[in-house]
Amino acid sequence: MGNERIEIYKESMKSIKFSDYEKEHMVHQIMNGGATDGGRMKGKLDIKKLGITIAACLTLFSVTALAAGEAAGIVSWNRIDTRTRNFEDLPKIEEKAGMDITAVEAFSNGYTFEYMEVSEAKTQDADGNDLRNFKGIDLTYTKEGCPDIYIDMDQADMYGDPHDRDTAVREIDGITVHYNYDEYLNLPDGERPTEEELQRAETDKHFYISDGGSDPRYTSYVSAASFEIDGIIYCILGFDLDMTADELFDMAEEIINAR
């Protein structure tokens, strides 16, 4: 990726500290950038992949450094050189990420493991200087005829207090699982949201706007369940899933029971 795109990416990420509308403008900027030598920006493929850790998980969790005013932005990417479709490679991925996670190869609802890879992130100050570095693990699950489901695992100390916007909550074997269902309005290039939509983005914790990324305008929905086990945050997420909150809670329960 050229220096110009890197600068665009850095500038877009700084907007995380601003309004929800500005955050979604950042999302559009990321979608139009990507790495070609050794890594892929999360979300390079489309808005659905982007939602794993940037668009959706950053709305589920407030990044500690950003919340504390220590950083102006966060840069995140996937290590595609670590990608593997062999579930038995999990110990190798854990070693590369420096993490000990719980994962299942298949869920009772028919979703099965497709591939996994190491993810990385770093916070930066307003001048683009690196502050803190983090590693995580991303797993993708597939089911015929259904949208993919992504499970992202990150160190809990990367996040601040995340749960002031839960749609639903469930206690499972002593673990609190948080569910959120969010609406994303995707606008064509050059189309501005209406005043009513802007106002809703500022007041509705479950409504977000992404401008300049689609033609024509469309709405997508993010379903996510998150919880913490032994200092690791787990985020189970999918776009336009035909699944209820209970079904995502059930997936979380299968992971928790696999400890």
**Residues in CB range of 68: below 8 A, 6 or more apart:** 160
Q: What is the mean pLDDT of the chain?
A: 75
pLDDT in tens, 90-113: 999 999 999 999 999 999 999 999
Summarize pLDDT for 203-242 with one digit per residue, the tens: 998 888 876 566 788 888 889 898 999 999 898 988 889 9
pLDDT mean over 177-196: 88
Residue 159 pLDDT level (bands cut at 50, 70, 90): low
Domains of the chain, by residue range, sit at 3-257
Residues of the chain with pLDDT > 70: what percent?
Answer: 66
Least confident of 58-62, 131-135, 200-204: 58-62
What local confidence, expressed as pLDDT, does residue 71 receive? 59
